[in-house]
Amino acid sequence: MSAPITGGALLVTGGAGFIGANFVLDWLAREGDPVVTLDALTYAGNLANLATVARDPRHTFVHGDIADRALVARLLREHQVRAIVHFAAESHVDRSIAGPDAFVKTNVLGSFALLEAAREYVGTLPDSARAAFRFLQVSTDEVYGSLGPQDPPFSETTAFDPRSPYSASKAAADHLASAAWHTYGLPVLTTHCSNNYGPFQFPEKLIPLMIRNARRGERLPVYGDGQQVRDWLHVSDHCSALRAVLARAAPGSRYNIGGSSERPNLEVVRTLCALLDELSPRTDGASYAAQIAFVTDRPGHDRRYAIDQRRIADDLGWQPQVRFEQGLRDTVRWYLEHEDWVRTVESGEYRRWLDLNYTGRDPGPAGHGSPGAPSGHADTRSQAAGGGSDKARASSAIPPDAGTAPASRKGHAR
Ligand code: NAD
Ligand code: DAU
């Protein structure tokens, strides 16, 4: 185990995205060290996520690409960076199936460029700073593949077996990071985390998508039979795990991070509906569960993920703190209180994505169709929200959600 590292700035890539933004806010609230956020502001990056630190002198936002080696080299040098926390990625599995190129470009080539810039920079540092430097590769449990119901959970020695272009691109980056450690001695740390949820998650992912669709009177599209299992972790617990790894993990080490909260998707969606029924009931008195619709499955859909996290518990003393039921309740409340945020991130690109991914997804297996497409449900807020194409609405018998103009995501720049 190495000594905690202090002094110098953190370079956080992808810090305007879901987990990155939570990490930056959490770090600045708890630690004194400055943060440089580097983010390309793709559809998933949103400066509004960092609004509360826009005037914090310890925070610098830089709009740029991780593949821009000259830019990264300058930032590392000018801010005397002592650690890179690498979140920047294309992160959505369904998008990787529809268009894998961007995943190879950012997750593989971008990560490689970042590793190379880090290697070059570390080579210029005096011994003590070189020994203290860390490159934290934030990866996913999806690199391990898919489990059957009785299989033991993923451990850090489970062989990689990625199944989607997304997980394959993350696995490639993990291998490159590992190679940088073994070959060049770049002090790399790698983490493999399970499904995160919480504030600022882009509404393409299961939980925020379901909350958004429920509130707009749209169908809740459950892929296949809905019995795929994910292990859910509140994003604040992921942030605390990353802080523990940064502070105490030995260079070259690898840690799994999970929530010990395995749930089938359908159970998650039903729980969300029950929470929404309680916190923001439909005006017609029906349950939001009436909007659940089983749709065509995701190709190559991983059946189950589960995490053996004894290593991080034993070595670093880390445990998740947020119980799933409480975290989900808090998350539903957050989305209900931040419907403006959801509308703001719904750019034209997002709407095109919804059309591409969900239009023409036929009802799923075993005759499951919508068990109750919303009929006439629309409260004042869902009438005031929305957009979407006529084509999508016609194919899914979903009531129109009336036009919110796509808002700029890039509200402030520094
Ligand atoms: P996200 O899609 O919400 O955010 C990704 C961010 O990266 C965005 O701000 C985007 O603008 C930025 N970005 C994309 N390409 C870039 C580039 N070329 N240069 C600079 N910035 C770029 O993703 P997320 O869910 O917050 O995931 C963050 C990281 O954590 C990813 O590496 C992901 O693989 C990993 N991870 C996510 C989860 C999860 O459940 N969401 C779980 C485990 C691991
Ligand atoms: O396991 C960690 C991974 O978790 C991260 O590496 C990824 O970046 C993150 O996106 C997430 O991947 P998943 O594919 O598990 O997350 P998603 O929210 O897309 O889907 C969760 C489950 O819900 C999955 O089994 C697919 C299903 N699903 C998803 C959507 C968007 C549906 O049934 N319907 C949907 O509309």
We report the CATH number of the domain holding residue 173 as 3.40.50.720
142 is catalytic: yes
Ligand 2: nearest atom to the Cα of 204? 31
Check whether 6 has a pLDDT greater than 70: no
C-alpha 402/C-alpha 386 separation (Å) is: 5
CA distance linking residue 373 with residue 354, whole number of Å: 18
Residue 142 lies in a domain: yes
Residue of 11, 12, 19, 154 best suited for mutating to test ligand 1, as the one with most atoms within 8 Å of CB: 19
Instruction: Answer whether residue 289 is part of any domain.
Output: no
Q: Does residue 94 have an active-site annotation?
A: no
Mean of all residue pLDDT scores within the chain: 88
SS3 296: coil
- pLDDT given for residue 364 in this prediction: 60
Check pLDDT > 90 for residue 368. no
For residues 218-227, average pLDDT: 98
**Letter string b/e over residues 233-243, b meaning 16 or more CB atoms within 10 A of that residue's CB:** bbbbbbbbbbb
Task: Give residue-wise pLDDT tens across range 12-28.
Answer: 999 999 999 999 999 99
Is residue 401 assigned to a domain? no
Q: How many CB atoms lie within 10 A of CB 374?
A: 25
Q: How many domains does the chain have?
A: 1
Q: Domain for residue 405, yes or no?
A: no
Pocket test for ligand 2, best of 93, 305, 356 (most atoms within 8 A of CB): 93
Q: What percent of the chain has pLDDT over 70?
A: 86
Is residue 317 a part of any domain in this protein? no
Cα(39) to ligand 2 centroid in Å equals: 23
Pocket lining: 93 vs ligand 2, CB cutoff 6 Å: yes
Any domain includes 363? no
Token pair 């700035």 in the structure block, residue: 9
Q: What ligand is nearest to the CA atom of residue 257? A: 1
How far is the centre of ligand 1, averaged over its atoms, from the C-alpha of 322 (Å)?
A: 22
pTM: 0.90
Instruction: State the burial class of residue 10 (Cβ atoms within 10 Å of its Cβ: 0-12, 13-18, 19+).
Output: buried
Q: At 143, phi and psi to the nearest 5?
A: -65, -20
End-to-end CA distance of the chain: 38
Domain limits for position 119: 9-201+234-257
**pLDDT score at 72:** 98
Whether residue 250 contacts residue 311, with contact meaning beta carbons closer than 8 Å, is answered with no
Catalytic entry in 142, 204, 262, 401: 142
Q: Is residue 49 very low, low, confident or very high in pLDDT (cuts 50, 70, 90)?
A: very high
pLDDT digits 0-9 by tens, 237-273: 999 999 999 999 999 999 999 999 999 999 999 999 9
Choose the residue to mutate in 202, 206, 233, 361 for probing ligand 2, maximizing ligand atoms within 8 Å of C-beta.
206
Could you tell me the distance, in angstroms and rounded to a whole number, from the CA of residue 126 to the centre of ligand 1? Answer: 32
Any domain includes 16: yes
Question: Which pLDDT tens digit goes with each residue over 73-82?
Answer: 999 999 999 9
Q: Does residue 100 lie in a domain region?
A: yes
Sign of CA dihedral 134, 140, 143, 148: positive
**166 catalytic residue (yes or no):** yes
Write the DSSP string, 37-83: EEE---TT--GGGGGGGTT-TTEEEEE--TT-HHHHHHHHHHTTEEE
Task: Give the CA radius of gyration of the chain.
Answer: 21
